[in-house]
Amino acid sequence: MSVLVVGSTALDSIKTPYGENPRLLGGSASHAAVAASFFAPVKLVGIVGDDFPKRYVRLYRRHGIDLAGLQVAPGKTFHWAGEYEANMNNRRTLTTELGVFETFIPNLPEAHRQTPFVLLANIAPALQHHVLNQMRRPKFVVADTMDLWLNIALDDLLKLLRRVDALVLNDSEARQLTKEDNVIAAAKKIHRLGPKYVIVKKGEHGALLSSPTGMFISPAFPLNKVVDPTGAGDSFVGALMGYLAGRKGAPEAHLKRGMIYGSVVASFCCEGFGLTRTTTVTRAAIEQRARQLKKMVQF
């Protein structure tokens, strides 16, 4: 089955201790859509300006991504510039130029409204609502978010939580949302806000799934060199959703393994700037790394 990915499509200028790269393909939807494309057909919904490089359109196409929902508007593509410190856990935003993204309304092509798997990648909760309002009985809805929306659109986000099967957020966001220092306690509190499944991303420390049947601890794939972590979280959730869409039966039954594939694709993402490493990956390489990761947690 296919996955609808709605989120930001951007150009990222990124500086890390390993180098500096301007105007890479970025944005939550780009990372998530490419990651999902290894497992299932993907429909991307986003907006770019008329400066959007043709090579990035070709990149999406090489991954078989349906671009009927990618709006092209007069003006500039969303541009983000940021810099990472040596430990890669702290980053500083240098520039945020919203461009055409400022007026983005994710109106879905008719053909997209019956997509069974919906990934509401990181965008304003109001836009995530707008997408859900257009969908016809999706099978599984996952929302990602970020601290910005907790700060400026909390009410919208809280309403959204009642409409999704799973919420994905990082540990500091889980703490902020629940005012609870302990991440496990925070995850449990989030269930009461709506989502049956809560996935807390912890970067290099992996991710946690809290579900009605208990916890699952998903490891990160250990890397001895992180070149650029931008988009790793989006890759994680994109691969997870792609994996769920590619399997038969209840999506819930595949969440654990989906998170493992999420960790694997996120690890490839971190090995290069932007999407440069992810786009060179094969399904076989993903399977191999998933097997390695399994070996590293078995005892």
Strands 19-26 and 10-16: antiparallel
By CB under 8 A, is residue 192 in contact with a second copy? no
Shortest Cβ 78–a second copy spacing (Å): 30
SS3 47: strand
Toward a second copy, which CB reaches closer, 95 or 213? 213
Residue of 24, 88, 120, 167 that binds a second copy (CB under 8 A): 88
Residue of 130, 139, 191, 202 that binds a second copy (CB under 8 A): 202
Phi, psi of 138, deg, nearest 5: -65, 155
- What CA dihedral angle connects 145, 151, 155 and 159, to 10 degrees? 10
Name the DSSP class of 260. H
Interaction with a second copy in 243-262: which residues (CB under 8 A)? 256-257, 259-260
The residues near 22 (Cβ < 8 Å, ≥ 6 apart) are 13
Shortest Cβ 189–a second copy spacing (Å): 10
By CB under 8 A, is residue 53 in contact with a second copy? no
For residue 182, give the amino acid letter.
N
Toward a second copy, which CB reaches closer, 111 or 215? 215
Piece of the chain touching a second copy by CB under 8 A; list 29-37, 111-119, 211-219, 234-242:
211-219
By CB under 8 A, is residue 214 in contact with a second copy? yes
Piece of the chain touching a second copy by CB under 8 A; list 31-39, 91-99, 130-138, 206-214:
206-214
Toward a second copy, which CB reaches closer, 151 or 224? 224
Residues 286 and 38 sit within 8 Å (Cβ to Cβ): yes
Residue of 133, 151, 224, 282 that binds a second copy (CB under 8 A): 224
Shortest Cβ 3–a second copy spacing (Å): 21
By CB under 8 A, is residue 191 in contact with a second copy? no
The DSSP line for 172-239 is HHHHHHHT-SSHHHHHHHHHTTS-SEEEEE-GGG-EEEEETTEEEEEPPPP-S--S--TTHHHHHHHH
By CB under 8 A, is residue 217 in contact with a second copy? yes
Residue of 54, 137, 192, 225 that binds a second copy (CB under 8 A): 225
The Cα 71–Cα 49 span in angstroms is: 8
By CB under 8 A, is residue 90 in contact with a second copy? no
- What CA dihedral angle connects 226, 241, 68 and 105, to 10 degrees? -80
Residues 273 and 227 sit within 8 Å (Cβ to Cβ): yes
Residue of 23, 91, 159, 188 that binds a second copy (CB under 8 A): 188
Q: What residues line the site for a second copy (CB under 8 A)?
A: 86-88, 181-185, 188, 202, 204-206, 208, 214-217, 219, 222-226, 256-257, 259-260, 294-297, 299
